[in-house]
Amino acid sequence: MINKIKAAADQYFERLVAIRRHLHAHPELSFQEYETSNYVEHALKGLGLEVTRMATTGLLVMIEGGKPGPVIALRGDLDALPIFEKNDAPYCSTNEGVMHACGHDVHTTCLLGAAMILNEFKDELSGSVKLIFQPGEEKLPGGASIMIKEGALEDPSPASIFGQHVHPELEVGKVGFKAGKYMASCDEVYLTVKGKGGHGALPHKNIDPILIAAQTIVAMQQVVSRRSDPMMPTVLSFGKIEGKGATNVIPDTVEIAGTFRTFDEDWRQEAHKWIRQIAEETAKSHGGTCEVRIERGYPFVYNDEALTERARAAAEAYLGAENVVDLEMRATGEDFSYYSQVMPGSFHRLGVRNEARGIVHPVHSPLFDADEACLRVGAGLMAWLAVNEMKG
């Protein structure tokens, strides 16, 4: 079967390049992927597949195998980012200010490619494949959570789920795996420090929220350095601070915003309490107040260990051991976590880098691009992972 899949991936390659270029040229923002979704639906129906709409722009498809066996889910994401593309290629974004800078065009294309391959051999499959094309990976609450709420993982329930993501740090032709905890939970932290504004020359008449904000940010580093288990990776970064005073004007309030990331649900809860407490107490000790709002984002991505070991071995069989690498944990987030929290899931990385061609820019950069040779690898590997998993 492995050779049949490889041959099919080669055979569909040019079509996949055309699909990827169409998607790349027509990016749409999270939860607005109407044209993208119509395009993918049309392609799936062209294969004779029945498509169910979910979460407005999401698509769910079953490829029923000829023989009984488990249901394996494969997931891709449809959305793009609010970025002005700075590449100069014939397939550049035609939707100004919107760009597939996170490679979701590649993920969607590879999943569509996997659908073509699996559909071709469906009579030979001992099990079925559920394809999940989800919207809104880049935006809270995350399209995955909506797809799950609307029943994407029910009737039938998949035994496991695979997802993939482009990786500009990894040479095209290679893929990467990491069993266990892989990507961080990410929460947004908003602090509003309130004091009493007035003339900068009369500090004793005011309650200075600028000073409180400065002390709060410093004090907040205790959450990571003193409250977190040193063995537990934790990030608390503040990327925004705004106090609209002047050289001689102390403002009433200062707004601070940041991100909290970690890899454990209990610690995540506890850390939220510490953030609240430290912010409120610091402000209070200076006569001010602090309103704390924490917006919960995605949970951490957990790659089921047994499933990921099997997937890694399957990838070695498909690509050769020299093309499969081990990944490090990373503090970025992914809403694939919603699937991996409720069922065995495995999320791997697809190499797209090509230094000779200048394809080296990170995701979310206006210069991000992918070497399209990755489509052959990504589509074939997704199909093969599902088939391999059916063997149990």
Other C-beta atoms lying within 10 Å of the C-beta of residue 157:
12
Residue closer to Ni ion (CB basis): 209 or 378: 378
Is 102 near Ni ion (CB under 5 A)?
yes
Is 106 near Ni ion (CB under 5 A)?
no
Segment near Ni ion (CB under 5 A), from 27-35, 55-63, 100-108, 236-244?
A: 100-108
Residue closer to Ni ion (CB basis): 128 or 134: 134
Segment near Ni ion (CB under 5 A), from 13-21, 54-62, 94-102, 237-245?
A: 94-102
d(CA 181, CA 82): 29
Beta carbon of residue 314, minimum distance to Ni ion (angstroms, whole number) = 23
The three-state secondary structure class of 292 is strand
Segment near Ni ion (CB under 5 A), from 55-63, 102-110, 182-190, 212-220?
A: 102-110
Segment near Ni ion (CB under 5 A), from 101-109, 139-147, 214-222, 384-392?
A: 101-109
Beta carbon of residue 179, minimum distance to Ni ion (angstroms, whole number) = 21
Beta carbon of residue 102, minimum distance to Ni ion (angstroms, whole number) = 3
Residue closer to Ni ion (CB basis): 144 or 210: 144
Is 101 near Ni ion (CB under 5 A)?
no
226 burial via Cβ count (<10 Å: 0-12, 13-18, 19+): exposed
Residue closer to Ni ion (CB basis): 334 or 389: 334
Q: CA 193: distance to chain centroid?
A: 32
d(CA 79, CA 136): 6
Residue closer to Ni ion (CB basis): 26 or 75: 75
- CA geometry: angle at 277 spanning 298 and 237, to 5°? 45
Segment near Ni ion (CB under 5 A), from 19-27, 65-73, 98-106, 225-233?
A: 98-106
Is 51 near Ni ion (CB under 5 A)?
no
Residue closer to Ni ion (CB basis): 134 or 206: 134
d(CA 117, CA 387): 11
CA-nearest of 174, 111, 75, 172 to 380 is 111
- The residue with tokens 């609209």 is 244
Beta carbon of residue 100, minimum distance to Ni ion (angstroms, whole number) = 10
Residue closer to Ni ion (CB basis): 102 or 183: 102
Residue 42's identity, in one-letter code, is H
Concatenate the DSSP letters of all residues of 14-71 into one string: HHHHHHHHHHHHS--BTT--HHHHHHHHHHHHHTT--EEEETTTEEEEEE--SEEEEE
Beta carbon of residue 253, minimum distance to Ni ion (angstroms, whole number) = 35
Which parts of this chain interact with Ni ion (CB under 5 A)? Answer: 102
